[in-house]
Structure 1
Amino acid sequence: MTTNELKIRTKQFSLEIINLIEKMPNSIACRAISNQIVRSGTSVGANYRAVCRARSDKEFVSKMNIVLEEADETVFWLEIINEKRWLSDLETQKLLDEGNQLTAIFVSSLKTVNTRLNTI
């Protein structure tokens, strides 16, 4: 997957998180979780763009760790939404799958760059 393709994919993930949250019930707990997941979910794409501008492998690792943390947090909030049954499995499963796939991609990228850094 190219950098540009991943930029598009993470931006789409952000948009789909926003679309999902707009369907959430309007309770105090739902609003709190909605605020959290909108922040973490949109942060994935925004911070990935910063990764693409990294000037060194060390800067890449630092920025990519932030992206990984935000992606993992978003998956956590999706699991909470799913387990609370605030939305249907059909509505959350696609995003859960995408969040897990993105997390795996980021982990793989970090392993590759960390291996390169440790062999220098």
Structure 2
Amino acid sequence: MGKSILKEKSYAFVILVVKLSQSLVTEKKEYVLRKQLLRIGTAIGAVIRETEFALSKADFIHKMSISLKEVNEPLYWLDLRKDTDYVPEEAHLIHFNLNKELVSMSVSAIKTTKSRN
């Protein structure tokens, strides 16, 4: 696969999620939201990494479709975190915008692969 912007950005997102989960515990003593964010946030990078070793075009599309589902879920948890006043708007936007970018990139990867013969 070589250098993959999607892989790099998903890893950067996972790093942000891990740091966020640490701050939720140390600063807010919040464990349920932390667990959900950490579970889904770390899954994103793992599933995207899996696509590197897809056995075929169909397998790649399948794995990317799974990653798209995984990438979309944190948007809910990030909004919940903001709307319950766990983080200020500026901090929320950093995570949220990177997450939205991952969704767009995943959709693009699937569409591009489907269009290739």
Query: By how many angstroms is 1:31 displaced?
Result: 1.5
Q: Deviations over 1:50-102 (max 9, x none)?
A: 01111211111111111111110011110110111111112221010000011
Aligned length: 113
Q: Which moved more, 1:50-59 or 1:3-12?
A: 3-12
When residues 3 and 103 of structure 1 are mapped into structure 2, their CA distance, relative to the original with a 3 A threshold, is: farther
Query: By how many angstroms is 1:3 displaced?
Result: 4.2
Distance 2:8 2:112 in 1: 22
Gaps of 5+ in 2: none
Gaps of 5+ in 1: none
Q: TM-score, length-normalised on structure 2?
A: 0.87
Aligned to 1:105: 105
Structure 1 segment 22-101 matched on structure 2, within 5 A: 22-24=22-24, 25-26=28-29, 30-101=30-101
Distance 2:33 2:59 in 1: 31
Distance 2:91 2:23 in 1: 9
Query: By how many angstroms is 1:114 displaced?
Result: 2.7
Q: Is the CA contact (8 Å cut-off) linking 1:13 and 1:95 kept in structure 2?
A: yes
- Give identity over the alignment, percent: 25
Q: Which moved more, 1:4-13 or 1:90-99?
A: 4-13
When residues 108 and 4 of structure 1 are mapped into structure 2, their CA distance, relative to the original with a 3 A threshold, is: closer
Aligned to 2:6: 6
